[in-house]
Amino acid sequence: MSTLPSIITPAFLASVRSRPNLPVNTWYFIAATTLSQLNRPDEIQKVYLHALNQKWTGTEAAEDSVPSFDEKRDISRRMREALVKAAAVTGVPKTINALLELKKVTPDDLLDEPQGLSPTGRPTDIYDTPMTQILKRGQEFFEGIYGKITKRVMGQMDRSGTEDLGLIARLVYGYILSNTSVLSAVETSYVMIAGLIPQDVNPQLKGHLRGALNGGATVDEVKAVRSIVMDICVAAGMKMLDGDVPAGFGWRVEPADV
C-alpha cells in the first residue's frame, strides 16, 4: 500500500470527467497514462473502478446507471491498450507496474489472458504477418502524425549518432503505435500527450500535439486533453521550476500547447 498522498478523489475524478470539449470515452485512459508516467500506478485502480461503476453521458454522470458488460469490457481494453502504447514514451517498467496494479481490481471476465483471441491482433502481427507489411503500416502512421516534417524527424533519429534510434522508432510505430484495433490514431496521440507532459520533453510533445490535430482532433479537444493531464501532474506535486533550481519534480519550461 502506497504511503504517498492520494491524488485521485471522487471530486477530482468528477472534474476530470466533466471537462468541456474532452473527447468522449477517453478520460480514464488519459488519466491512467498520466498516473503511470508519474510513477503512481497505485492510483490507477481508483480511475478504473470509477469508470466501471458509473456511466457517463456527455459531461454529466447518468443517475443510477452503470455501464453494461460490453461497455465495461471496452473500458478495460482501452485502458490496457493505452498503458501498452504508453510504453513507447514512458518505458516498459512503468507499463508493467501499471498493468499489474490494474489487473488486481479487474474482474476475471474482463481480462484478456494468453491463448485467447487478443482484441489487438498483435500476436498475428508478430507471428503471421510479414514484417515489411507491419513496418509499412508504421511508416504510414508516422507520416500521419508528422505530416510534411516526417522526413526531417525520422532523419534526425537516423543521424543521431546511431541509426539504431531510427530502427527503434520504426519498430515501435509498426508493432505498437500503428495498431488501431482498440484505440484510434487520434486516441493514440492523446496517450502520447499524456505520457510526454509529465516528462518535461517539449520537442516530442509538440510533435504529438500537432499529430492529434493531423489525426482529426480539434484544437479545443487537444487543449482539454492537455488540461486534465496538467491537473493530474499538479495534483501529484509537479510545478514550474525556478531558474535557480538545477533539477526537481517539475517543468523547466511551460509544457507546449496548441
Q: Is the dihedral angle over the CA atoms 257, 17, 192, 42 positive or is it negative? A: positive
pLDDT the model gives residue 4: 81
State how far the Cα of 149 lies from the Cα of 116, in Å rounded to an integer.
40
All residues at 6 or more sequence positions from 20 whose CB lies less than 8 Å from its CB, including other chains = 59, 220, 224
Is it the case that residue 1 has pLDDT exceeding 60? Answer: no
Q: What is the pLDDT of residues 232-245, one digit of tens each?
A: 999 999 999 887 77
State how far the Cα of 146 lies from the Cα of 117, in Å rounded to an integer.
32
Q: What is the pLDDT of residues 63-76, one digit of tens each?
A: 557 899 999 999 99
pTM: 0.93
State how far the Cα of 8 lies from the Cα of 10, in Å rounded to an integer.
7
Share of the chain above pLDDT 70, in %: 95
Torsion of CA 145, 147, 149, 155, to 10 degrees: 60
State how far the Cα of 120 lies from the Cα of 136, in Å rounded to an integer.
18
Is it the case that residue 247 has pLDDT exceeding 90? Answer: no
pLDDT the model gives residue 187: 98
215 close to 185: Cβ distance less than 8 angstroms: yes
CA distances to 43, 246, 254 from 101, in Å? 9, 33, 31
Phi-psi map region of 112: left, alpha, beta (phi>0 left; psi -120 to 50 alpha):
beta
All residues at 6 or more sequence positions from 45 whose CB lies less than 8 Å from its CB, including other chains = 101, 102, 104, 105
Which among 55, 47, 53 has a CA at the least distance from the CA of 16? 47
Q: What is the pLDDT of residues 130-162, one digit of tens each?
A: 999 999 999 999 999 999 999 999 999 999 999
Name the residue ranges covered by the structural domains of the chain.
10-117+185-199+220-251
pLDDT confidence bin for 61, thresholds 50/70/90: low
Coil, strand or helix: which one is 189? helix
State how far the Cα of 203 lies from the Cα of 193, in Å rounded to an integer.
12
pLDDT the model gives residue 57: 55
More confident residue, 83 or 242: 83
